[in-house]
Structure 1
Amino acid sequence: MPIPVIDFSKLNGEEREKTMTEIANGCEEWGFFQLVNHGIPEELLERVKKVTAECYKVEREDEFFKNSTPVTLLKELIGKKGDEKLENVDWEDVFLLTDDNDWPPKTLGFKETMTEYRTELKKLAENLMEVMDENLGIQKGYIKQMFNGGDGENAFFGTKVSHYPPCPHPERVTGLRAHTDAGGIILLFQDDVVGGLEILKDGKWTDVQPIRNSIVINTGDQIEVLSNGRYKSVWHRVQAMPDGTRRSIASFYNPSYKATIEPATELIEKENKEVNQLGYPKFVFGDYMSVYTEQKFLPKEPRFQSVKAAN
């Protein structure tokens, strides 16, 4: 069962209403959907593929297979000749790009390309937030303002560059363990060929099919709270694969650590009490992240209850 694929260009044409409905369905019924014709130039996306692949090959691959924790632990596990799995580690090479971080220095064109890409992704995220505002029936700009903690540009925008190398024993380790995302809107540029990303839909794990140069969108825990449970953050994972290196570039538009998050007042007033039966609390995002860091791979409901108890 493929996840929804939405032509974002039709948002500005005769099929706007239909496209808005498709996005609402993606948020409400799936928590994941793919955008095509999203406005990010194909030429830029091809450059992103090139520089991230080169960066992994030149600056990271050797180190991963020589000294990384997952490789070391997997070798030890196989040496024991049992059938156990690695439970608390991911078969993933990963680093974070933010405006404040040092970026990989050896790959020609990496910083220029990824700076341009991040600018485009941030604009797309803000467009999507306005679509969500409209679909939820709340004031235009509401989600962005909440994430920024008011006026200004205080929200966090980070990009996680991951590669999942071919694994000699994919049955013994997960590429990335099942979790929901802590933050707001996640925009993923995944591999065109090597799959492995799965979401939990109706109790079954469903593949997120690779589509060339699409952007996969999912909503995090903070969108679930702001929407009063109408949009759910969804469990997802990455399977380790025996062949091919999977590219995964996930950009996160998250609240400022100082931002206060709570269900939108209009939604509490409009929706019946059953929608908010979980009782989403009001909290500071930084406090939520302190809990999430310790409980990322555990059920999300206790995280909400933890920050509720702390306030």
Structure 2
Amino acid sequence: MNNLESYPPILRHLSHPRQHPADGGDPIQESDPDPLPVIDLERLSHDMNMQKVLEEACKHWGLFRLVNHGVPSTLLTQLQDQAKQLFSLSFESKQASCNGANPVTYFWGTPALTSSGAPLTTAPQNINWVEGFNMPLPQLSQFQPQLPQLHSFRDSVVEYGEHLSRIGRKLFEAMVNNLDLNIEASSSYVAESTGIMRIYRYPKCSNSNLGLGMEVHTDSSVLSILSQENEVSGLDLLKDHRWLTVKPVSNTLIVNLGDMMQAISDDKYKSVTHRVKLNNERERISLCYFVFPNEDLQIESSKYRPFTYKEFRAKVQQDIKTVGHKVGLPRFQHTPHPLN
């Protein structure tokens, strides 16, 4: 099958992709060597210097590279290979495989994903160049896909999710210790029941300035953990008003902090602003794990009025529908946001 036909029709025939708006950043700054903070997970529990590196990364970057994470390199390679096979199927078969009451959803071209993973209706002029699968990890064992490619991929994602749940708990506990927070049940803040895997495919584009794979945003999660395809860049973070490309490095993971972590930390830690640009030579596949607090857990902070993640998610969904974009944490500040 022609590779183009594996994409959703709107991504095949989009002749006038949107010019992405001003985003507060200067042009991409390429750096060598890699400037990202590097966290060694094996050393984190007993190495004070590594704990300090983590604290600085959370305060000043909101994102870091993770090494010695314990995920087998063979599993990371397998996931990429299986994702490629899955995305290469026809659009119609991918769409049909996730109909009905299936927990797995297939999305494309959305301006933003709701926190539940559901795709939103979008006008062509406000499209992101992306397609993907949203896979709620607690429900995957109930999912019996008809496509053999999706069946084998599901099994790999379940195994991968167990690793990332472990990593998320360990990182969160280290952050809580650094912040000296009196949080008793950390499992409520990085709840396994909320874990979501999203698998993205971004098409290549000869003129990558014509549109974005994913618009400028912050994640709503506590933590997001990304596995990037080797040698295919696209993820950019905003640092000191300048865009910086997060280079893919073999057998490493990228961890970024989301809005919930910023609120939990009383704004000491940073929910990183990021985007995905299109690669002009190759399509890009990435796998991202998101973890959230329990829905009804109340977030206490001096910077924000008390709120639950359930309330936060509902406000994000409402804002996307009514004002066209996510407002996020400013909605919950003690001083009301102008749009309130």
Q: Distance in 2 between matches of 1:90 and 1:306?
A: 33
Identify the residue that residue 82 of structure 1 maps to in structure 2. Answer: none
Higher mean C-alpha deviation, range 114-123 or range 139-148: 139-148
CA contact (8 A) 2:44 2:174 kept: no
- Runs of 4+ aligned residues of structure 1 deviating over 6 Å after TM superposition are 61-64, 306-309
TM-score, length-scaled by structure 2 = 0.72
Identify the residue that residue 33 of structure 1 maps to in structure 2. Answer: 64
Identify the residue that residue 218 of structure 1 maps to in structure 2. Answer: 256
Equivalent residue for 2:188, pick from 121, 131, 145? 145
Identify the residue that residue 197 of structure 2 maps to in structure 1. Answer: 159
1:30-69 alignment, distance < 5 Å: 30-58=61-89, 60=91
One-letter amino acid of the counterpart of residue 10, structure 1: R
Identify the residue that residue 106 of structure 1 maps to in structure 2. Answer: 148
Identify the residue that residue 331 of structure 2 maps to in structure 1. Answer: 303
State yes or no: 1:285 paired with 2:316.
no
The Cα of 1:128 is off from its aligned counterpart by 0.7
One-letter amino acid of the counterpart of residue 17, structure 1: M
The Cα of 1:246 is off from its aligned counterpart by 0.9
Q: Distance in 2 between matches of 1:69 and 1:60?
A: 10
1:178-257 alignment, distance < 5 Å: 178-257=216-295
Higher mean C-alpha deviation, range 131-140 or range 213-222: 131-140
Equivalent residue for 2:178, pick from 129, 135, 147? 135
Identify the residue that residue 23 of structure 1 maps to in structure 2. Answer: 54
The Cα of 1:18 is off from its aligned counterpart by 0.9
Q: Distance in 2 between matches of 1:174 and 1:181?
A: 17
Q: Distance in 2 between matches of 1:216 and 1:187?
A: 6
Higher helix fraction (1 or 2): 1
One-letter amino acid of the counterpart of residue 250, structure 2: R
SS at 2:195's partner residue? Answer: strand
SS at 2:209's partner residue? Answer: helix
Unaligned runs of at least 5 residues, structure 2: 1-30, 96-106, 111-123
Q: 1:160 to 1:237 in 2, by over 3 A?
A: same
Q: Distance in 2 between matches of 1:57 and 1:282?
A: 45
State yes or no: 1:97 paired with 2:144.
no
Q: 1:305 to 1:138 in 2, by over 3 A?
A: closer
Q: Distance in 1 between matches of 2:83 and 2:335?
A: 37
The Cα of 1:3 is off from its aligned counterpart by 1.8
CA contact (8 A) 1:283 1:307 kept: no
Q: 1:231 to 1:12 in 2, by over 3 A?
A: closer
Q: Percent identity?
A: 28
One-letter amino acid of the counterpart of residue 289, structure 1: R
Q: 1:308 to 1:128 in 2, by over 3 A?
A: farther
CA contact (8 A) 1:167 1:242 kept: yes
Identify the residue that residue 81 of structure 1 maps to in structure 2. Answer: none
One-letter amino acid of the counterpart of residue 11, structure 1: L
Q: Distance in 1 between matches of 2:69 and 2:168?
A: 11
The Cα of 1:304 is off from its aligned counterpart by 2.4
Q: 1:306 to 1:300 in 2, by over 3 A?
A: farther
Q: Distance in 1 between matches of 2:271 and 2:169?
A: 18
SS at 2:215's partner residue? Answer: strand
SS at 1:43's partner residue? Answer: helix
The Cα of 1:132 is off from its aligned counterpart by 0.9
Unaligned runs of at least 5 residues, structure 1: 72-85, 264-275
Residues matched between the structures, number: 271
Q: 1:106 to 1:141 in 2, by over 3 A?
A: farther
